[in-house]
Structure 1
Amino acid sequence: MPQPGEDLRGYVLERTLGRGGSATVYLARRPQDSRPVALKVLDSEHRDPQALHRLERAFVLTGQLDHPHIVTEYELGPHWIAMQYVDGGNVTALSAPADRLAALAQIADALDHAHRLGIVHCDVKPANILVHQDFSAGGAVLIDFAVAHVLAEDMAARLAHGGGRRLSLDPARRITGRPPAAPTSVQASLPYAAPELLLGQMPSASTDQYSLACTAVELLTGAPPFTATTAAGLIDAHLELPPPRFSQRISGLPRGFDSVLATALMKEPDARHESCAEFVDLLQRVLA
């Protein structure tokens, strides 16, 4: 892997911003301009054709989305993406509940924008919501469309395969039936994963709303709605358990908070709120 100080296709790496399961993100600049960028570089062991395809696909999908709270990606390399640098860390860096609610509203609007274009993010979680250090000026930014779904593609796949279940982004593997024994075959972050994703069903805009609701619970109460000591236990909780009554756990939360969250966390996607923005607007009203 490249190290700070090295040159990568004209980008000089300044420092490491973070590491994930398959990539490292660097703060970088090009000598010909002063604009900082975040350079996401796939680790050498994660540069197989499928990983490179996901990287390219994420770049193409993000390029279709023009929204102030969706990350801007500038350039695609052979195994890297240069994108907008957001300097405040992820949304958990915000300390004021009002700022966290404002960030949720901005991301809800960004998700609704993507949904109108037929794109479902499928991995909404605090780690994928970055914030500007000057939050009042820049707000929050949604990143990482690596496992996003295009609804038209999913519909075509369903029709082509004669069933109501979607294909994984990995064309060699299909998710079917009940949750897989190995949670690694589910392309979602389990604490925030909607039941339909865990069942291998076609995602929809409501899938992102469920994940946004799990994110909201974590930001406003300190933990996601469902926790378990094992992946299987967490999957079962998403599929079987009703949402907790948060107002009974945390002093100061109104019962209306429970009601708004319960709808966003319904097991059936069609039973959730009409949009992500509607969900967060109702949340803001009950917490006002």
Structure 2
Amino acid sequence: MTAQPRLLGGRYEIGGMIGYGGMAEVHRGRDIRLGRDVAIKMLRTDLARDETFLTRFRREAHNAATLNHPSIVAVYDTGEDTDSGVPVPYIVMEFVEGRTLKEVLTAEGRLSPRRACEILADVCAALDFSHRHQIIHRDVKPGNVMLSSNGQIKVMDFGIARALAAGQATMTQTSAVIGTAQYLSPEQARGETVDARSDVYASGCLIYELLCGEPPFTGDNPVSVAYQHVREAPIPPSHRNPDVPPSVDAITLKALEKNPINRYQSAGEMRDDLERAIAGRPVLATPVMSQEERTQLLAAQRADDTRVAPVVSDRPKKNTGKKVAAAVIALALVAGLGFLTWYLTAGDGATVAVPKVVGMKEAEAVERIEKAELKAKVEEVPSSDQEKGDVTDQDPGALKKVEKNSTVILKVGKGRTTVTVPDLSNLIGCPEMKSKLKAAELKIKCEEVSSSKDKGAFIDQQPDAGEKLKSGETVEVKVSNNDTTTVPDVSGMSEQKACKKIEEAGFSCDVSSDLQAVSDPDDAGKVVDQTPDAEAEAEKNSTVTIYIGGIQVPKLRELTVEEARDAAEEAGLEFDAGSAPDDFIVESQDPPEGEVVEDGTTVTVTAQPDIGT
């Protein structure tokens, strides 16, 4: 008997689970009254016994039902059901066909800046709407944003993070909360009161990940990630993705400001700036200074620094001893701070950020490296003619912190040069050949072809060894895949011996039923032909067909019995004329003339007296 599907509220059929979170499960469902698919979110049964979770889920279900916006997953209904006597609240929502941004990032990697801005503009519109209805999301992340099959953005899970926070879940409690640590605002990480600007910060983390393929801060555990949210400045997106324009850099970093006062004060403000960036208009966010601009600004400030000597009064004062001690301590602190500053900025402990020089001309890049108090080592590498003289790579990479006077290796393109194609015939396998061609500044296209040679053995190369090519061009190489072997020669052998030899060579043996006529009776019963031919290359385990020689029956009719007997025996056949005398004339024969038969086959004839005698 088929089990009836569970019904909620007498109208919602519950299907399979399509998602789950820290406190709720989401099932695919069916509204049997309206005949439409829905998503049903239910508080987990184990949490439904906790009055705190139960109360807050009920309140959040009510709040979520008030949000009616095209970029927010619609809530159709709310209610409660019972499970073993325990009340379980549920939310019936719009069912969205599509993928989460987390799934999009996994499948496609980072997105183009324009597409990322368009997505975030819709997310911000949804957040701004919810904020105006006094609902803070608190868990903005790629997994909570759907991209529908028609390209529409849908934000999910409004208010659920609030319920989790009220349940005092810690960052180490579940893996789901650990993941969320990558999108925590500094005030959330510190456990402070949050407002709509926390969602703005999370939106900054979200667009950062869309632009760069990874969040602004990552770490081995949620505590280290939370610390970075509080203390560390994010690397500008353009330093990880050169396609990011300054306007989008500025928007992202403004949303990621540590102090909420310095962020966009609403999701609506952030959306307005995103739309300006999409339209190519100036944005309100402060442009991000380059490393060179920051270095020049700091140098100018240091040049203007002055030191004012303290003024010492000659008038006697009370408690002189205590004041002198305090002054000595203060001077020691100043001296210590001064030494620390010198050690970190000019002394042996000083570190500097490696400037980004990829794409620059060699001379400009070397100058930039040396200005940063580092040493440049240039190594020429093959490149296109367009990249000749340009830095194509650097090590350490841009913005890496290194000690002053460290060496930065600059890979500079030397363009395409004329090189000689090396001989690959003595090498085995594509990797060896690729290595030799790489040393000659050439590329390889390696193809395995049928051959009886050892696997990977050289078959052919084009162009041939010794010819000239431009560096970076491709040599086409063919190597053996060892899927063929040589067909043995079995001509003149008996059927049994021939098949044995064929099978020993790795083939199947097939004997043709069609005998082949031979002129020499000695060849009858032996192999006179084969397919494929002897010494040919054929795939292993394929079939070799052999053809056996046979006797072509001669014409015996109209001969005397004696003549017919002689002719049959000469051809290697047996003869049977019954009791007919030798001078009788043969009238018929079986087998008939021309048929090819095995050696020793009997030809039976009928004969009559010669009527002419």
TM-score scaled to structure 2, two decimals?
A: 0.39
- Aligned partner of 1:128 in structure 2 is 144
- Aligned partner of 1:87 in structure 2 is 97
Counterparts of 2:7 and 2:142, CA distance in 1: 29
Superposed CA deviations along residues 42-63 of structure 1, whole A, max 9, x for unmatched, are 3322222222223212211112
Counterparts of 1:32 and 1:252, CA distance in 2: 50
Structure 1 residue 213 displacement after superposition = 0.8
The letter of the residue matching 1:39 is: I
* 1:5-20 correspondence to structure 2 within 5 Å: 6-9=5-8, 10-20=11-21
Structure with a larger share of its residues in strand = 2
Structure 1 residue 280 displacement after superposition = 4.0
Structure 1 residue 201 displacement after superposition = 1.6
Structure with a larger share of its residues in helix = 1
Matched, 1:75 2:91: no
Say which SS state the counterpart of residue 82 (structure 1) adopts: strand
Counterparts of 1:5 and 1:124, CA distance in 2: 37
Counterparts of 1:5 and 1:242, CA distance in 2: 56
Matched, 1:142 2:152: no
- Aligned partner of 1:61 in structure 2 is 63
Matched, 1:209 2:200: yes
- Aligned partner of 2:269 in structure 1 is 278
The letter of the residue matching 1:27 is: R
CA contact (8 A) 2:182 2:222 kept: no
The letter of the residue matching 2:155 is: L
Say which SS state the counterpart of residue 76 (structure 2) adopts: strand
- The unaligned stretches of length 5 or more in structure 2 are 81-87, 281-613
Matched, 1:101 2:117: yes
Say which SS state the counterpart of residue 182 (structure 2) adopts: helix
Structure 1 residue 285 displacement after superposition = 4.5
Matched, 1:267 2:258: yes
CA contact (8 A) 1:15 1:26 kept: yes
* 1:243-262 correspondence to structure 2 within 5 Å: 243-262=234-253
Distance 1:127 1:250, change over 3 A: same
- Aligned partner of 1:228 in structure 2 is 219
Counterparts of 1:117 and 1:11, CA distance in 2: 28
* 1:162-201 correspondence to structure 2 within 5 Å: 169-170=166-167, 183-184=172-173, 189-201=180-192
Counterparts of 1:91 and 1:69, CA distance in 2: 14
Say which SS state the counterpart of residue 6 (structure 1) adopts: coil
CA contact (8 A) 1:218 1:224 kept: yes
Superposed CA deviations along residues 59-118 of structure 1, whole A, max 9, x for unmatched, are 111122222212222222322221111111213455564444322111101111122232
The letter of the residue matching 2:250 is: S
Superposed CA deviations along residues 218-238 of structure 1, whole A, max 9, x for unmatched, are 122111111011111011100
Quick one: percent identity of the two aligned structures? 30
The letter of the residue matching 1:143 is: M
CA contact (8 A) 2:19 2:26 kept: yes
Structure 1 residue 284 displacement after superposition = 5.3
Structure 1 residue 127 displacement after superposition = 1.2
CA contact (8 A) 1:191 1:227 kept: yes
The letter of the residue matching 2:213 is: G
Say which SS state the counterpart of residue 32 (structure 1) adopts: coil
CA contact (8 A) 1:58 1:144 kept: no
Distance 1:253 1:99, change over 3 A: closer
The letter of the residue matching 1:244 is: I
Structure 1 residue 147 displacement after superposition = 4.0
The letter of the residue matching 2:32 is: P
TM-score scaled to structure 1, two decimals?
A: 0.79
Aligned counterpart for 2:130 among listed residues 114, 132, 141: 114
- Aligned partner of 1:161 in structure 2 is none
Say which SS state the counterpart of residue 27 (structure 2) adopts: strand
Say which SS state the counterpart of residue 120 (structure 1) adopts: coil
Counterparts of 1:250 and 1:67, CA distance in 2: 33
- The unaligned stretches of length 5 or more in structure 1 are 150-167
Say which SS state the counterpart of residue 36 (structure 1) adopts: strand
Q: How many residues align?
A: 257
CA contact (8 A) 2:211 2:241 kept: no
Matched, 1:45 2:36: no
Q: After alignment, is 99-108 or 200-209 more displaced?
A: 99-108
The letter of the residue matching 1:31 is: I
